[in-house]
Amino acid sequence: MRDIVKAELNRARDLHPIWPDDQVHQVAIVCEEAGEALQAALNYQDHGKPFAEIRKEITHTAAMCERWFQANEEVKD
């Protein structure tokens, strides 16, 4: 995992220490971050906004994906 993603994961845990128990809310958090990444990409492409905003939102998305994986390591099919 990239250091920037690790740092974001730690920051997110500090801000929001409680992670939901249910899959709908967990995946909704991941999707919310992915939606913000898409918005940043659209803003970059269509409005000339900084590429750094895409990187920031992709980092947030990656951190929430990692949080999902860590929360569900023990889940069996």
Instruction: Give dist(CA 34, CA 37) in Å, integer.
Output: 5
The per-residue pLDDT of the chain, averaged, comes to 97
What proportion of the chain, given as a percentage, has pLDDT over 90?
97
Instruction: Give dist(CA 71, CA 60) in Å, integer.
Output: 16
For the chain, the structural domain boundaries read 3-71
**Residue-wise pLDDT tens digits, 5-25:** 999 999 999 999 999 999 999
Instruction: Give dist(CA 56, CA 76) in Å, integer.
Output: 32
How many residues appear in the chain? 77
